[in-house]
Structure 1
Amino acid sequence: MPIPSEKQTSLHCLFHWAKQTPNKVYLTQPYPDGHTEDITWTQAADQVRRMAGHLRSLDLPERSHIAILGKNSAHWILADLAIWAAGMVSVPMYPTLNGETAEYILEHSEARLLFLGKLDGTADGWDDIKGRLPADLPIISLPMSPRPDTDQWTDITARTEPADPILPDPDDLATLIYTSGSTGRPKGVMHSFRTMISVAEGLQQIFPVGPEDRMLSYLPLAHVAERAAVQTLSLYYGFRLYFANSLETFQEDLQRARPTLFFSVPRLWMKFYMTINEKLPPKKQKLLFNLPILNRAVKRKVLKQLGLDHCRAALTGAAPLSAEIVHWYRNLGLELLEVYGMSENFGYSHANRPGQTRIGTVGVASPGVEHRLGDGDEVQVKSPGQMLGYYKNEEKTREDLTDDGFLKTGDMGEIDASGFLRITGRVKDLFKTSKGKYVVPVPIEGRFNHPQVEAVCVAGANQPQPCVMVLLSEEARAALDNGSQKDDLERELAAELDAVNAETESHQQLAFVAVVREPWTMENGMLTPTMKIKRNVIENHYADRIDGWYQQKRKVIWE
């Protein structure tokens, strides 16, 4: 199905909706003082044209690269669009970067200007980044920026006349997306306007989305998943986007948005699940969910408490989510669909489809996508969303693409007779025990499910057997600090260990559970921006303790 000419790029989409639904609200932004700002399609297009006019007045080189650093906000998206309307290329940066990586990205991308957005030094990297910004780099501050001493978005758009936008060719370079860099330096993935719009164009063939939908934007817009599933879709389909103010107000922000479509990552689905378990223990849930007349009302109430009672489809991606948790949500009445994609194909690869789900798989190839298994069962994908290559790194581009144009994903998988793909691990995550046997950590981690465990990491390279490190939920850690019964939890963790080992081949059976103390966060480098564990960082952090844990010869070890 060809893309309509008025929607051939995300920028075309903005002006299409400004013309079709000028007074409809596009963006709703909450502020720390409690007030919210609604921005209509007309207002969005007007601000974008004014900022584009300002950028063009700066006499920057043609097709200059402009960076955006900040947490998600309405003006983050407007800045992205203004960069494109000025005929330039956007370079999003994670707000949780450390100073050294931020400095590297600004230098490597040859950024000529920085849009500085919502940052405050709490749960972001601003305190480390601010001293590493190049002294000669011009900065424009978006609302909620930590720098009142620079040019301000609101002042510039108030005094600048709107300019005619430079509407891009679909094959023009649109953006450089720097990978989260779980190992080594982040790579700059080059995407055109065409590769970015592919996700929206493909979705319309499999799932009904329209202008009356609503989404909440809170995962980092610098990551391809949020840029594809939230920003691009909202621009293509013309629906309303809400933003979250902070972690503390997240539930309130979710209730305001009442999303009809919701995208999240496994760690947050687990957090929601734990929150409900705290208020309504699993035993009571089982009883209430099985009552013939009451069960629907109870489930509806649970979804309403989560802010997801209007949600007709929810997506999960970026890491595996256990089948048990997927079943729990589906039992509530929320169709949780696992999807799969990478920065290198703008997240457009595989998806479970409504009414055609196989739990434990990431679904079938999306329209226009080809897939196959290469050496070592590595998943290889050819997608309409495929990158143009890595910026200033032709060698790595050649390494990651086959001669016939397939992307080597680095994931191992299985494809069944119906075309459903199951991810079985990462090629680089495999490790050998001292007995010379290979261990595949991801499936084992997916089986270790305890309602008070927030994150799991299987380790044990060069040890007789693998082990598992677990991080308890914030609530469980607080309860233990307040004198909660440690013995009961220890017995439950030991029972979970036995249950996992009963389903696991002997050489992959876990020697013990180590309950760690320090939270794994984006700030301390143990999680990626989409909250996946950084296995190598976690393993290195505990390397000096692991031998001692094995010597204890206990089922459950408390750090």
Structure 2
Amino acid sequence: MPDFHSPLEAFLYWEAKAPKNIFLKQPIHGKIKTYSFAEAGEEARKIASAIQSYHLPNRSHVAILSNNCAHWMMADIAIMMAGHVSIPIYPTLNDASIKQILEHSETKAIIVGKLENFETQKSGIPKMPMISVGMFGRYEGDLWEDLVQKHSPLQDVYIPKHDDLHTIIYTSGTTGNPKGVMHTVNNFAESSKTFREVMQLQEHIRMFSYLPLAHVAERAMCNSGITLGASISFVESLETFAKNLEDTQPHIFFAVPRIWTKFRDKILDSMPQKKLNILLNIPILNSIVKNKLRQKLGLKEAVFIVSAAAPIASSLVKWYRKLGIVIHQGYGMTEDCCVSHFNTPQASKIGTVGKPLMGVKAKLSAEGEICLLNNCLMVGYYKNPEATADVFDEESYLKTGDIGEYDHDGFLTITGRVKDQFKTDKGKYISPSHIELMLSSNTDIEQICIVGTGIPQPIALITLSETGKIKLKAQLVEGLIATVNSINPNLEKHEKVEKVIIMKEDWNVANGLTTPSLKVKRNSIEKIHQEFYKEWFESTDKVIFE
């Protein structure tokens, strides 16, 4: 298999070499609609012709607003074929956020696909050419299906140059407005090559795409899939997620820690921990139970399983290992095209994010900030030279904003975020990340935000997991106090957790308290709750219900 210089070059290779191989699998109304490389190529070429008929300026910015689906992938390929630059937009954003990105990015046209709330979002789209997909109930602007009937396939497709701008990815940002991260064609070619080699992936693997394609990690993984001639399956709905995953049995699976927690909760719903322990300790039943659970999760044939985007509790990784599911934690960000650190089958240490990947140079600043150099760093932030200058040091290393430390074997542990540090009224700085990770061993907790500005000791704001929500109040409180008492001896005096506050509502994208990649938005949570810190701290209760 050749080294491809762009995702489009990889697609064209498989379109020519294996035209009948299934490329995309889209569940719709309980059935699977498949697209071979030839069929996807023909639709993409026709949509590319349609985009060219809009007579946009050369290298225009064309947005994609959609959940993951076959049409997202074909739209991305069509934009490349037409010689333009893609602007992916998170499908959960509200109209104001969509408008801000479209205007800032100077987008000239938009493709709208599979969405749940487009009626509330469409007011954020300024007047511009719009293509919508009828298969998903979208009928605004020009209909995808009509354009496919009307236009001939574009034969003379644009072949991207090495340093062409490929995409602008707007970060989901836990603070402030998102910034537009500019990546070249070469950056995605390099990240795809790195992932293929690190994960030792073979041609024609099965993939399952459900994390937002507007996020760099899922985009990079799917681009890696294109280079391998992979078959990529999608989700029909949240309700069908488990079935879609089980039916796919992907060879590679990537999830964020919250998803691993939810998977565990589902298993324990049907098989309590005590029963599971007994079955796993019986030699003959052990392998039967493991195989059945892996099959049901959709991970029976997975050769590489990943957790990233946020720290995962070591206890959770160990729990899965007892089921024969080995989760490799990795670390990367939009700005470095996800090429940073990874645990691999050859070099793995639970509790760390692994060693630097091939071609990555890493160092720690005097303050402990992780700084990176690789051959696929972003060009910069779109129309933001000041922020671009601030994020690179004098040696052109990217300043990640994360604080970390290396052990004597070269494995990196993330210990916090530079901007997440806060000071209690004792004048002591606290990095909350490691405390949150310790607390996450309690399966009754879904999300955690350690805070403490203006009070003597930190307190934990939490939301409850499904198992936590159904527990008796006394049992829940007892368990939370036991967890706090177990972790406090391992913390410095000024870090010891004083109280646990249980939030009334979950934190999610809809209420603006998590990013689309499910990271907690600390600033937004603090803005709502900081006025109550003193009152909560002075309460005689150790666990407080908001």
Report TM bin, short chain: over 0.9
Q: 2:53, 2:104 → 1: CA distance?
A: 25
1:347 shift after superposition: 0.9
**Structure 1 residue aligned with 2:125:** 133
The answer to whether 1:112 aligns with 2:108 is yes
Q: Which runs of 5+ in 1 are unaligned?
A: none
1:145 shift after superposition: 4.7
Equivalent position to 1:171, from 145, 157, 163: 163
**Structure 1 residue aligned with 2:56:** 60
Equivalent position to 2:505, from 512, 518, 523: 518
Counterpart secondary structure, 2:39: helix
For the Cα contact (< 8 Å) 1:205–1:367, is it kept in 2? no
Aligned partner letter, 1:35: K
Q: 1:143, 1:470 → 2: CA distance?
A: 41
For the Cα contact (< 8 Å) 1:210–1:238, is it kept in 2? no
For the Cα contact (< 8 Å) 1:274–1:452, is it kept in 2? no
Q: 1:140, 1:521 → 2: CA distance?
A: 29
Give me the CA root mean square deviation.
1.4
**Structure 1 residue aligned with 2:331:** 340
Counterpart secondary structure, 1:542: helix
**Cα 1:204–1:291 shift into 2, 3 Å:** same
Q: 2:147, 2:260 → 1: CA distance?
A: 40
**Structure 1 residue aligned with 2:261:** 270
Q: 1:25, 1:113 → 2: CA distance?
A: 29
For the Cα contact (< 8 Å) 1:49–1:82, is it kept in 2? yes
**Structure 1 residue aligned with 2:16:** 19
Q: 2:428, 2:157 → 1: CA distance?
A: 59
For the Cα contact (< 8 Å) 2:455–2:533, is it kept in 1? no
1:383 shift after superposition: 1.5
**Cα 1:537–1:138 shift into 2, 3 Å:** same
The answer to whether 1:249 aligns with 2:240 is yes
For the Cα contact (< 8 Å) 1:75–1:143, is it kept in 2? no
The answer to whether 1:420 aligns with 2:411 is yes
**Cα 1:149–1:99 shift into 2, 3 Å:** closer
Q: 2:460, 2:100 → 1: CA distance?
A: 34
Q: Deviations over 1:160-183 (max 9, x none)?
A: 111121111121001000011321
Equivalent position to 1:434, from 425, 430, 440: 425
Q: 1:222, 1:94 → 2: CA distance?
A: 5
Q: 1:473, 1:68 → 2: CA distance?
A: 33
**Greater mean deviation of Cα atoms: 110-119 or 541-550:** 541-550
Equivalent position to 2:528, from 531, 534, 541: 541
**Greater mean deviation of Cα atoms: 275-284 or 136-145:** 136-145
**Structure 2 residue aligned with 1:470:** 462
Aligned partner letter, 2:40: A
Q: 1:485, 1:541 → 2: CA distance?
A: 28
Q: Across the two proteins, how many residue pairs are aligned to each other?
A: 544
Q: 1:318, 1:102 → 2: CA distance?
A: 23
Q: Share of identical aligned residues, percent?
A: 40
For the Cα contact (< 8 Å) 2:216–2:337, is it kept in 1? yes
Counterpart secondary structure, 2:83: coil
Q: Deviations over 1:432-470 (max 9, x none)?
A: 111111111000110112122111111111210001111
For the Cα contact (< 8 Å) 2:468–2:476, is it kept in 1? no
The answer to whether 1:504 aligns with 2:523 is no
Counterpart secondary structure, 1:170: coil
Counterpart secondary structure, 2:300: coil
For the Cα contact (< 8 Å) 2:457–2:498, is it kept in 1? yes
1:190-339 correspondence runs (5 A): 190-229=182-221, 231-339=222-330
1:249 shift after superposition: 0.7
Q: Deviations over 1:209-240 (max 9, x none)?
A: 122321111111001111012x2111111111
1:528 shift after superposition: 1.1
For the Cα contact (< 8 Å) 1:86–1:166, is it kept in 2? yes
1:418 shift after superposition: 2.6
Q: 2:198, 2:448 → 1: CA distance?
A: 34
TM-score by length of 1: 0.95
Q: 2:135, 2:494 → 1: CA distance?
A: 53
TM-score by length of 2: 0.97
Q: Which runs of 5+ in 2 are unaligned?
A: none
The answer to whether 1:188 aligns with 2:180 is yes
